[in-house]
Amino acid sequence: MAFRTVLIANRGEIALRVIRACRALGLRAVAVCSEADRGGTWLQAADDAVCIGPAPASRSYLDIGALLLAAEVAGADAIHPGYGFLAENGDFAEAVERAGLTLIGPAAETIRLMGDKIRAKEAMRAAGVPCVPGSDGALPLDAAVCAQLAARVGYPVIVKAAGGGGGRGMRVVRGPDELATAIATTREEAVRAFANPDLYIEKFLEHPRHIEIQVLCDHHGGALWLGERDCSVQRRHQKVIEEAPAPGIPRAQIAELGERCAAACRAIGYRGAGTFEFLYEDGTFAFIEINTRIQVEHTVTEETTGLDIVREQIRVAMGEPLLLSQRDVVCRGHAIECRINAEHGFSGRPSPGRVIRWHAPGGPGIRVDSHMAPGAEVPPHYDSLIAKIVTSGTDRAQCIARMKAALAELQVEGIDVNAELHRFVLEDETFEKGGVTIHYLEQRLRRFAEANTGAQS
Ligand code: ADP
């Protein structure tokens, strides 16, 4: 299982992040790029780079054959998938295993199990993790039985696709008369987008927070939880700001949940880094899904625990045991991350193009993970995340103050970024108090838009 050369099957900031972790372990790092990314700054940071195909992701970053060929050409014996693209693809994991390479992540069968949200929930319920109440198992085709199930769960409910992801494949149903249509449309989408017709029903929670637990497990039954993250500041189900710890939740309750997650990992033989996602409402946690990969927001946990999670993820993939025990995991102070996206103002519309000027902020408690530089190209083909600004400090107020200073120092020309949106949130009283729900940002933006149109008319 020991390996020397890691192929990074990804691009942008996460490719750079993984290259840095490889360096920290003295491993050779091989980067890949599509034709649109030939000038990518992460390529220079790597020991070697391979172009894997044309700009569309389906023909490059999602092309399993091209990636395996690149690994062979570069003499790689392990592959890090990063996040997005093929990171949670069971077929990819299996192809990597078959080729005799190590995938830096859980086993293919674990990725498949957790990719099926119905089976994942079953496994978690069995392992003692609290879940959102709902239909146990896939919905039957019989409409009358579905109506009974939904009535038992209690309206409003949410119809979700077992294979869903990225905020797609789900529909809120307010009453019995909407159920049949919601099931039919979601099933059609599930077949088309996820090639899996299975659906399930969950109680729709009206005002939850999104809280997640980071785990890290070795191949020897060792499983740690590394604290929680609050990712409730979202827009269109996409996270915008994340922080650790979650404001206002009793530590004992978090610790109990963390222990349950670690126990569930031991029960299912989980390996590597992973995240248990929960909704938190009225003082109760309810599991929604597991992400079997490194996440964008792992950084805030790194800042509060002092651990290099990507380095640890690679080490355990080599078969090495965890060096820490749970007692050694200490979360100190606070950390906040703002996702800097190439977007026009508040609109969320992508703003691809060439970066003419790039000045990243710095100073105590300010970390910037980014592949940007003057002259860097932001292609229109991929995700718009171009940088993560992470501030840390003794408390939340210090993190917010440092973030405001960092955003003021950030200078970007050539493309638009969403810095104004972050400033808008950081200056808002409700956010400042902490503990907002997943609907907070959209509601706040709606009120802002209404007030502005009101002022103009
Ligand atoms: P995906 O894999 O597409 O991200 P998730 O199951 O993680 O899907 O859900 C994504 C988001 O949808 C959650 O963060 C939350 O905002 C919302 N959501 C999911 N399930 C529920 C539910 N039962 N009640 C309320 N909101 C939900």
Nearest to 240 by CA among 43, 441, 78, 48: 441
The full DSSP string for 306-321 is: ---HHHHHHHHHTTPP
Three-class SS state of 206:
coil
Ligand 1 pocket, 343 CB below 6 A? no
Q: 356: helix, coil or strand?
A: coil
Q: Which pLDDT value is given to residue 168?
A: 87
CA 341–ligand 1 middle distance (angstroms): 22
Q: Whose CA is nearest to atom 1 of ligand 1?
A: 165
CB of residue 287 inside a 6 A radius of ligand 1: no
- In contact, 128 and 263? CB cutoff 8 Å: yes
> From the CB of 27, is ligand 1 less than 6 Å away?
no
8 A C-beta contact, residue 322 and residue 328: no
For residue 206, the ligand 1 atom closest to its alpha carbon is 25
Q: So which residues are the catalytic ones?
A: 293
Best CA proximity match to 424, nearest among 333, 336, 334, 338: 338
In angstroms, rounded to a whole number, what is the distance separating the alpha carbons of residues 248 and 252? 12
Q: pLDDT of 321-369, one tens digit each?
A: 999 999 999 999 999 999 999 999 888 899 999 999 999 999 999 999 9
User: Rounded distance, CA 265 to CA 224, Å?
Assistant: 9
Task: State if residue 166 touches ligand 1 by the CB under 6 angstroms criterion.
Answer: yes
Structure tokens, 268 = 């299912």
Residue 438 CB less than 6 A away from ligand 1? yes
- Residue 289 in contact with ligand 1 by CB distance below 6 A: yes
pLDDT in tens, 263-302: 999 999 999 999 999 999 999 999 999 999 999 999 999 9
Choice from 160, 287, 288 to test ligand 1 binding pocket (greatest atom count within 8 A of CB): 288
User: Mean pLDDT, 10 residues at a time, over the chain (457 residues)?
Assistant: 94 98 97 98 98 98 98 98 97 97 98 96 95 93 96 97 90 97 97 95 97 98 98 94 98 98 97 98 97 98 98 98 97 98 92 98 98 98 98 98 98 98 98 98 94 69
Is 88 touching ligand 1 by the criterion CB < 6 Å? no
Residue of minimum CA distance from atom 16 in ligand 1: 237
Residue of the CA atom closest to atom 2 of ligand 1: 165
What H or E segment, with its residue span, contains residue 238?
strand 238-244
Atom of ligand 1 nearest to the CA of 288: 6
288 C-alpha to ligand 1 centroid (Å): 7
Q: What is the per-residue pLDDT for 455?
A: 57
State in Å: Cα 158 to ligand 1 middle: 9
Helix orientation angle between 419-426 and 396-409, rounded to the nearest 10 degrees? 150
The pair of structure tokens assigned to 47 is 């020991």
237 ligand 1 Cβ < 6 A: yes
pLDDT of residue 346: 87
Helix 90-98 to helix 108-115 angle (10° resolution) is 170
Is 205 a pocket residue for ligand 1 (Cβ < 6 Å)?
yes
> What distance in Å separates the CA atoms of residue 323 and residue 332, rounded to the nearest whole number?
19
| Residue 276 Cα to ligand 1 middle (Å) | 13
| Pairing, β 157-165 against β 199-203 | antiparallel
Other CB atoms within a 10 A radius of the CB of residue 67 amount to: 28
Q: Name the closest-CA residue to atom 17, ligand 1.
A: 237
Q: Is 167 in the pocket of ligand 1 (CB under 6 A)?
A: yes
187-200 residue pLDDT tens: 999 999 999 999 99
Closest by alpha carbon to 163, among 130, 123, 117? Answer: 117
- Nearest ligand 1 atom to the CA of 234 is 16
CA 146 and chain centroid, separation:
32
Looking at residue 408, its amino acid is: A
- Protein residue whose Cα sits closest to atom 23 of ligand 1: 204
Using a 6 Å cutoff on CB, does residue 204 contact ligand 1? yes
Neighbour tally for 332: CB within 10 Å: 11
For ligand 1, atom 22, the nearest C-alpha belongs to 204
Would you say the CB of residue 132 lies under 6 angstroms from ligand 1? yes
For residue 210, the CA-to-ligand 1 centroid distance in Å is 9
What spacing in Å lies between the alpha carbon of 173 and ligand 1's midpoint?
14
DSSP code for 264: H
Instruction: Please identify, by atom number, the ligand 1 atom nearest to the C-alpha of residue 168.
Output: 3
